[in-house]
Structures are given as C-alpha cells and as structure tokens.
Amino acid sequence: MVDRILIRDLLVRGIIGVRDDERTRPQDILINVELRTDTRAAGASDDLADTVDYGALSKRIVALAETAGYGLVERLAEEIARLCLADERVEGATVRVEKPRALRYGRSVGVEIERSRG
C-alpha cells in the first residue's frame, strides 16, 4: 500500500524560458507535487517526525523555482523531483510544472514527470 501527500497549486514567480524576454522578467510558475510514501506511522503517532515535512519541502521547492533560472520546465520539474526524493521516506514523486499564459490561446503549458527511488 502506498499513501500520497499532495502539494497543490504552488504559484511562484521566477525566471524560466529560453527566449530573451523570458530571461529578463519573472513569470508565474504553477507547481503540483504528489509524494508517494507510507503515512501509517504518522497517522498512529500524530508526530511530524514520522512523516514527510511537506511544509519544509514546499519552502525548498518555492526557493528553487524563484531563484534557479532554468530554461526549460522539464529541468525545473526534474530538480523538484530530486528535492522530493532526497527524503528517504518518499518512494516516488509526480511533479507537474506549468507556465500559465505561456501560449497565446492556451491557459498554460507544462510537463508532468514521475520519478521513483532506484
């Protein structure tokens, strides 16, 4: 059995893109993360030490997105997945990174990746 911790709709501003205008002004970046982990110990103990600290992880994700300055959303998604898997309790992660209003006629464009331990 695998449980899931969901981090939904983190909206941050950062430099992302390959065009000259994208490299000079921050853009909105929408991030969603699903962590696959076992939450039974935390459910029994009610102790933060027994689970993934999603508050601390969210802060690291926001800091990365605001400061990294990657060209591709694929790269940002990959680095977010690495942050997630740095906690040994996380068995796998699904990461979605979107750029709202990046396309003239679209609400957003983005990627979704799945990564797992091993």
The set of catalytic residues is 99
Query: Of 87, 79, 70, 88, nearest to 27 (Cα)?
Result: 70
Give the H/E segment covering residue 67: helix 54-67
Contacts of residue 74, defined as CB under 8 A and 6 or more positions apart, other chains included, come to 111, 113
Query: Of 78, 55, 58, 74, nearest to 66 (Cα)?
Result: 58
For tokens 């992302």, the residue is 16
Six-digit token string for 52:
């993934």
